[in-house]
Amino acid sequence: MGIQETTFKDSNPPIRWVHMNSPSHQELDIQLRTLNISLPPIGEGHTRAAFDRYPHFFYLRLFKLNPTGLETDELEIAAVHFVVTPQVMLSWSSDFTVAQDFQETRKKLLLHPQLIQSSNHLAFYVADDLLEMAFPFFDYFNDKVAHIEHETLHDNDDTQIKEEIFRLKRIIMRVRRILGSERDVAYQLARYWSGEPSMDTIYAFELYDHVIRLSDSADTYREMMDTVLDIYLSSVSNRLNEIVKTLTIVTALFMPASVIAALYGMNFDHIPGAGNPWGFHLVIGSVVLISIILLWIFKRRKWI
């Protein structure tokens, strides 16, 4: 477990930000008791964002979407927890990449310390940066969709393409559920901040606008996956039609040979040309000629 601590001294009173990397339950309880805060047990299995308001602090849970998770069967998400008091913001996550991302946020805020006028401002900027980390996920998801569209039109491995399409659909549906819960939380947080004297209205609803934009992006990609699935089904149908057409043409070309062979295979004593030494060659020539004429007709009508 590692602890990263930053104090913003330009605010009045000074605001302290403490971030904990993958803390144990004991270590987290110690930090919460230091702040005289008592919370119900918080597990890591949650997949919904949360906002709980208490008399002297509020609790917030958001999520980071990991782009590399698109290479696996399951979506990789990291829950990030916040406890915000008037003078301290405590955050923690079991994902070590969150601490690395927060390093950039910390550097930005230290370069512009006048932005932090209260712990609510600090929570806004950190939560806003955390939500913006979803945009690289969508950029990577867009690349995956473009790749699967190309595969759908040019690859014949139907099983692999189908599995990839449905895997991406499952992922984007789960992302929509997560963003839906974050949208509700952002709205609750906006209403809470709109009543705080230290927060302007623009701060209260800017975070909500960002979540709405992310949610709209998820809806767009869900519709794109439905479109890709339609393209895939159309492609499969077209390939099946091509196969059926090819088999039909081959059957039509060999049909004269089948008819003539059936006629000359009858058990009659007198068959035209049976005693002719050139009879076999004439029959074969007739079959070939009829097949060539049929092939010319098919090409003339642009059936092949």
Q: What is the pLDDT of residue 300?
A: 82
The domains of the chain, with CATH numbers, are: 2-238 (no CATH), 239-300 (1.20.58.340)
| Mode of pairing for the β-strands spanning 88-93 and 15-21 | parallel
- Stated length of the chain: 304
- Could you give the CA distance from residue 106 to residue 65 in angstroms, rounded to a whole number? 20
* The predicted structure's pLDDT at residue 201: 67
For residue 1, the model assigns a pLDDT of 55
Question: In the prediction, which pLDDT does 206 show?
Answer: 85
Q: Going by DSSP bridges, is the β-strand pair 77-84/58-65 parallel, antiparallel, or unpaired?
A: antiparallel
Q: Are 84 and 97 in contact (CB under 8 A)?
A: no
- Coil, strand, or helix at residue 246? helix
The residue whose two tokens read 């609510």 is: 120
Burial (CB < 10 A; 0-12, 13-18, 19+), residue 208, is buried
pLDDT score at 147: 85
Q: At a CB cut-off of 8 Å and minimum separation 6, what does 68 contact? A: 76
In the prediction, which pLDDT does 268 show?
66
Cβ atoms 62, 211 nearer than 8 A = no
Question: In order along the chain (304 residues), what is the average pLDDT of each group of 10 residues?
Answer: 81 86 88 86 75 91 82 78 93 88 89 86 91 87 86 75 86 90 90 77 80 90 88 83 84 80 71 70 81 83 76
Which residues, in sequence order, are CB contacts of 180 under 8 Å at separation 6+? 215
Sole residue written with tokens 């074969």:
284
